[in-house]
């Protein structure tokens, strides 16, 4: 039996400033060690001051994940001696004697299964470690960029309820959708959502794979580590408790150090950050101001637009895709056809090219125009699919693309009858078979479409073939 628990670290990158100081959060692309101050560098005498909006975001996430919220906010110092935290401790939270996390005992439901949330912590992020001449294991030296140090984080820790890489993927995708809908995190930014993956199989100790940077890498790390542990147990090798590193290039985990215990971190309350009370009135106020959550949005999509649960679920799992659907639905009222296009064609093309929804330049106006042209018979569905890449990559209007490429649907009956005659002459056996099995007509229609560069009107072509065959 495999048990998997996740410790998901979420950047509060929609905040304007870091967790305990006024340094801005938009550090990506800045020169190293320029977005820093005495507080986030931990210089002597610097006093941290809590970012109130960070607490508001944390409480929103706790409500969305059905958690019990603590009566007061308590910060602790987590001591460790690695160079990515200049003051040799991290301001975090500890769920133990004399202290508590901001929230605990929550849940997320995926595929009718409950994944329990053990706790949610608020903490600061360490500096970014850079290995200039290779990987963590091969680089000759290490550089540190403290621009990231002090960025607000939520640590969301699950119980070991996840059984395989597919459940881990589904959990992380739903969590990401919740965070995006709450505007807690822009999950498309580099390093905005990382996970430590705890994996154990029957007969072995728990192994932690640290700082896995994407959902795909979490899947791959779990598949590799489960296979490695099972192979070791089969050979009589004991799985020891340790921390491992995920090498995303070689797709393997490698040992880094023995796993620390809680005693090693020497937790104690931070004297610079006194307890902050959290009353019911404060929680209720935040709850009333929360935006629509994914589950509620899925339900509304089904009721308001008449689409299936599967389509609504795919749309809402990426907030940008759900927003694109709703904004286009204001302009184009055949909601089912719109959902089909986005879920089956638009999204497939995005995924094949390894793009993100936010990278697309296709506007709601252009998508609505394209579907209106399909409805009016100006273009065929195959033409629609062929010009989607231009809409997505270049933001061109469908009218411009079609005019430039001469892609309008062919409805010239005399021309189509000529092409049909050619196809029937070339496909005599299929033409005979179509008289007994009308489904074969679709094959002949496909041949006509191919000869016309997918521009033949499919319905008119079908009718003309039937007429020609006396059906």
Banded model confidence at residue 455, pLDDT cuts 50, 70, 90? low
Beta strands in 59-110 (DSSP E): 68-69, 72-73, 76-79, 89-92, 103-110
Is the pLDDT assigned to residue 230 strictly greater than 60? yes
pLDDT tier, 19 (very low <50, low <70, confident <90, very high otherwise): very high
Strand partners, 195: 8, 212
**Per-residue confidence band for 272, with pLDDT thresholds at 50, 70 and 90:** very high
Q: Supply the pLDDT for residue 187.
A: 87
Mean pLDDT of the chain: 88
In the block, which residue shows the tokens 């999509």? 301
Strands 2-11 and 193-201: antiparallel
pLDDT surpasses 70 at 315? yes
Q: Which residues of 10-22 are buried (b: 16+ CB within 10 A; e: fewer)?
A: bbbbbbebbbbbe
How confident is the model at residue 212, as a pLDDT?
93
Mean pLDDT, residues 304-312 taken together: 97
Distance between CA atoms of residues 146 and 132, nearest Å: 16
Phi then psi dihedrals of residue 98, to 5 deg: 80, 5
What three-state secondary structure class fits 115? strand
The confidence band for 464, taking pLDDT boundaries of 50, 70 and 90, is: confident
* pLDDT tens profile 357-377: 888 999 999 999 999 988 877
- The pLDDT tens digits for 69-100 are 999 999 999 998 778 888 889 999 988 887 89
Confidence of residue 228 (pLDDT cuts 50, 70, 90): very high
Coil vs helix vs strand at 385: helix
pLDDT at 185 over 60: yes
Residue with more model confidence, 32 or 382: 32
| pLDDT the model gives residue 409 | 56
Beta strands (DSSP E) in 52-101 are: 68-69, 72-73, 76-79, 89-92
329-360 pLDDT tens trace: 999 999 999 999 999 999 998 988 888 888 89
Span 402-416, average pLDDT: 59
Give the pLDDT of residue 98.
77
Burial classification of residue 238, based on how many CB atoms lie within 10 Å of its CB (0-12 exposed, 13-18 middle, 19 or more buried): exposed
Secondary structure of residue 348 in the 3-state scheme? helix
Residue 427 confidence (pLDDT) above 80: no
- pLDDT at residue 414 in the model: 63
- Structure tokens given for 270: 């931070």
Q: List, in sequence order, every beta strand (DSSP E) within 27-102.
A: 68-69, 72-73, 76-79, 89-92
Token digits for 248?
């995303």
In the chain, the domains with their CATH numbers are 2-285 (no CATH), 292-405 (no CATH), 413-469 (1.10.10.410)
pLDDT at position 419 over 70: no
Give the model's pLDDT for residue 176: 96
Q: Does 433 or 233 have the greater pLDDT score?
A: 233
Closest CA to 221 of 199, 240, 200, 241: 199
User: pLDDT band at residue 135, thresholds of 50, 70 and 90?
Assistant: confident
Would the pLDDT of 163 be above 90? Answer: yes
Name the residue with higher pLDDT: 311 or 433.
311
So what's the pLDDT on residue 454? 65
> What value does the mean pLDDT take over residues 434-441?
72
- At 239-269, the pLDDT tens digits run 988 999 998 888 999 988 665 566 677 888 9
Q: Which pLDDT band, with edges at 50, 70 and 90, does 221 fall under? A: very high
Sheet strand arrangement including 193-201: 68-69, 103-110, 113-124, 152-158, 2-11, 193-201, 207-212, 242-247, 252-258
* Distance of alpha carbon 122 from alpha carbon 154, whole angstroms: 5
């Amino acid at each position: 039996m495999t048990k998997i628990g996740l410790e998901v670290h979420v950047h509060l990158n929609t905040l304007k400033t870091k967790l305990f100081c006024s340094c801005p959060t938009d550090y990506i692309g800045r020169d190293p060690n320029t977005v820093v101050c005495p507080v986030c560098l931990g210089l002597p005498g610097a006093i941290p001051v809590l970012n109130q909006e960070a607490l508001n975001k944390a409480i929103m996430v706790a409500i969305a994940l059905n958690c019990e919220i603590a009566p007061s906010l308590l910060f602790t110092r987590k001591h460790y001696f690695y160079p990515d935290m200049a003051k040799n401790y991290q301001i975090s939270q500890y769920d133990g004697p004399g202290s508590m996390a901001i929230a605990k005992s929550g849940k997320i439901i995926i595929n009718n299964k409950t994944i329990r949330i053990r706790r949610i912590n608020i903490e600061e992020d360490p500096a970014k470690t850079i290995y200039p001449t290779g990987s963590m294991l091969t680089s000759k030296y290490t550089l540190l960029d403290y621009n990231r140090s002090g960025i607000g984080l939520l640590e969301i820790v699950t119980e070991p309820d996840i059984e395989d890489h597919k459940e881990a993927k589904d959990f992380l995708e739903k969590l990401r959708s919740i965070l995006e809908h709450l505007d807690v995190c822009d999950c498309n930014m580099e390093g905005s959502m990382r996970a430590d993956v705890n994996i154990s199989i029957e007969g072995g100790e728990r192994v932690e794979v640290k700082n896995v940077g994407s959902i795909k890498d979490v899947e791959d790390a779990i598949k590799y580590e489960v296979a490695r542990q099972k192979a070791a147990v089969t050979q009589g090798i004991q799985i020891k408790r340790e921390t491992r590193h995920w090498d995303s290039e070689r797709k393997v985990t490698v040992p880094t150090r023995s796993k620390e215990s809680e005693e090693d971190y020497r937790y104690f309350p931070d004297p610079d950050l006194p307890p902050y009370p959290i009353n019911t009135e404060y929680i209720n106020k935040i709850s009333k101001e929360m935006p629509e959550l994914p589950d509620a949005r899925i339900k509304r999509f089904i009721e308001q637009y008449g689409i299936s649960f599967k389509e609504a679920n795919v749309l809402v799992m990426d907030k940008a895709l759900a927003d694109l659907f709703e904004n286009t639905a204001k302009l184009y009222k055949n909601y089912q056809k719109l959902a089909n296009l986005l879920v089956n064609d638009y999204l497939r093309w995005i995924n094949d090219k390894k793009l993100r929804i936010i990278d697309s330049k296709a506007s709601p106006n252009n998508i609505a125009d394209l579907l209106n042209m399909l409805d009016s018979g100006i273009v065929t569905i195959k033409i629609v699919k062929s010009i989607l890449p231009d809409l997505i990559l270049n933001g061109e209007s469908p009218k411009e693309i079609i005019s430039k490429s001469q892609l309008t649907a062919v409805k010239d009956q005399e021309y189509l009858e000529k092409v049909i005659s050619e196809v029937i002459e070339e496909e005599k056996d299929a033409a005979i078979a179509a008289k007994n099995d009308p489904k074969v007509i679709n094959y002949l229609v496909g041949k006509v479409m191919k000869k016309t560069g997918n521009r033949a009107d499919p319905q008119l072509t079908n009718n003309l073939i039937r007429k020609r065959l006396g059906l």
